[in-house]
A and B are shown apart, each in its own frame.
Chain A
Amino acid sequence: MLRFEGLCKSYGSRTILQGLDGRMNAGAYALRGPNGIGKSTLLRVLAGVTDADSGAIRIDGIDMRADPVAAKARLAYAPDECPVYPFVTGRELLDFVAWAKRCAVTPEVLGIVERFGLGRHLDTRCGAMSLGTQKKLMLAAAWIGAPAVLLFDEPSNGLDADARAVLVDLLRQKAAGAVALVSTHDHAFAQALGASVIEFEALRAEREAHGAVA
């Protein structure tokens, strides 16, 4: 469902990603690594927010470089920081994501909104919401369009205990039929998800190992 090969990304002379490989089928995965190693950059590149310098990404079998619109229609991304439009309301943001994915905000998504306790915030502007509420809104929006790949950067950051439990439950259900790749420093959260832990360095080592065999 999610496959990437030889991903490289540099900012000027600083190399962040160097030849990363990965192949993931349905399930939950927790990406781990020290601060600044490139986890967030990897998720941004996989989500198509930032272009890779080289390498290939396939989302649910669709090549990101060849058909980015179709590939992005099959994924959902929630960054750690909340760069959502601060001047739109929660409801407008959900409508916008549904418009972008050419689908509707389904009762399932509205149910997730309710479970996160976002109902009373839907007519509040994102800029006036707390960071945790913004995060919950982005996580709820991720369920729009039934994505096959979910890429969440530090999703448990800023969430209260109830919202965290809801997220664990939702991700466990979703991981039965989709890839849920989360970057996290939160061991308890990863454990609660039942996620396979992927050390960031291992993505690079995999390529080097294959290279050595070849």
Chain B
Amino acid sequence: MRRWQALVLLAGVLASANASVFSNLDTLARPILQLLAPGHGIAWRCGYLLLLLAAAALWAHMQRDQIAGGGFMQFAGSLPFSARQRRRVDLAVLALADSPLLLMVAGALSSAMAQGAPAAHGLLLAALVPLALAAQLAVLERSALAGAFLAAACLPLAACFGTVLAPMADVLAGAGAWLALQRPPWPRGGMAARLRWPAPRWPTRMPGLVAGRHAPALRLSWAILLRERRDETLAKALGAAAMVAAALGLGAVFEHDARSIAAAWLAQGLVALHLSGLFRGLHMAHRAGAGFSGALPLRAGWWRRFDLLALLGFGLPFLGAPALLAWHEGATPARALAGWVSHAALLCALRAPQLASERHAVVLSTLLAGCWIAATIACLY
């Protein structure tokens, strides 16, 4: 729901800049449409296809707990449902979780059709849906075998692109992935089990830098980020890194003029907004433990400052990179530092709207971040 809110908000912002709904779809679908761009070789297209599948897999991975269904599904596992029925339920949940991504694919399809692209391009985009779903299931089931099959399927798709064999390759790959989705998961024994990649091991001890009198409480907040919500934290880190990379790219587009500095500050604000979503997970984890910690001699909301410190520790490097970029693009060190401090403060300030209302968190946070970024740029530009 929150991702849909973000998507609608983004479309609204683009619409306010006089962009029509169709151009919004076009903008949203650009990462997928890039797959159809001419002038690239087999290796590039195969790599890009793998990148798209990896992005889809990561999307599911960061929602693993929600998709898995929690404790009730452990009970439901004892009920007499067939493996095929369970797989259908998994797929339905996955499709629901994927709905914002499916909108992107639909946008890419409609955009490609509107531009009169060959039918083979449409088939490739259509094949992308079952391939992405299969990649997500491979990640959720930790099946290296399925992952290897999918990676292998990308090669003929890339090799046949733009040739007369393209439609056949697209249909075969899409149909193969669709059939793979219908079959029950691999049995636990045999080769499939040997090729099942192990669940990642995460450190049982927190980094040495978490020391001092309040270390046990700070360690708790770090443990939520690095163990309890590790998939979300990883996704946030990748998202923040992508925003920093986008700011870097915009600097090149603007030929390193003064706009590059504003782009760096904008990226800082967006990184703060993006990372502030982690406040909710931190808060929820503390609330879940309140049945025990509530009897300890601590003030109400004792975890607030430790969550802030943990998230600042996590976010400062991502906020620092655009500050270095602004400095590199010609901002004075004092201004670059002021931008960094301002957006670190924004990250802290965003805790309130993120927790104030579950339903309106995205809208409230975006409004605050938008005003804050505008004020920062107006003061420092």
Contact = CB atoms under 8 A, between A and B. Distances in A.
A9 interface: no
B204 A125 contact: yes
A100 interface: yes
Nearest to A51: B294
Contact of B227 (A70, A71, A87, A98): A87
A72 B297 CA distance: 5
B228 A47 contact: no
A92 B214 CA distance: 12
B313 interface: no
B223 interface: yes
B266 to A, nearest CB: 34
A77 B294 CA distance: 9
B285 interface: yes
A77 B223 contact: no
Interface residues of A, number: 38
Contacts of B291: 44, 49, 79, 81, 83
Interface string A41-77: 0001001111000000000000000001111110111
B297 A69 contact: yes
Contacts of B296: 72, 97, 100-101
A189 interface: no
A203 interface: no
A1 interface: no
A109 interface: no
Contact of B220 (A70, A77, A96, A98): A96
Interface in B194-241: 204-206, 213-217, 219-220, 223-224, 227-228
Contacts of A73: 297
Contacts of B289: 83-85
B217 A49 contact: no
Contact of B290 (A49, A92, A95, A102): A49
B224 A87 contact: yes
A101 B285 CA distance: 21
Contact of A84 (B227, B228, B292): B292
A42 to B, nearest CB: 13
A88 interface: yes
Contacts of A99: 213-217
Contacts, number: 90
A100 B294 CA distance: 11
Contacts of B288: 83, 85
A138 B295 contact: no
Q: What does DSSP make chain B's interface, helix, strand, loop or mixed?
A: helix
B357 interface: no
Contact of B295 (A75, A102, A124): A75
A86 B243 CA distance: 32
B228 A86 contact: yes
A88 B303 CA distance: 15
A92 B294 contact: no
B204 A70 contact: no
A108 interface: no
A146 to B, nearest CB: 13
B220 A123 contact: no
B293 interface: yes
A95 B227 CA distance: 18
A49 B294 contact: yes
Contacts of A123: 204-205
A92 to B, nearest CB: 6
B299 interface: yes
B227 to A, nearest CB: 4
A18 interface: no
Interface core residue of B213, B290, B293 (most chain A CB under 10 Å):
B293
A138 B292 contact: yes
A49 B204 CA distance: 29
6 contacts: A69-B298, A82-B292, A84-B292, A88-B219, A88-B223, A95-B215
Interface of A: 44, 47-50, 68-73, 75-77, 79, 81-89, 92, 95-102, 123-125, 138, 151
Interface of B: 204-206, 213-217, 219-220, 223-224, 227-228, 285, 288-299
Closest 7 CB pairs of A and B: A83-B291, A77-B295, A49-B294, A99-B216, A73-B297, A72-B297, A47-B295
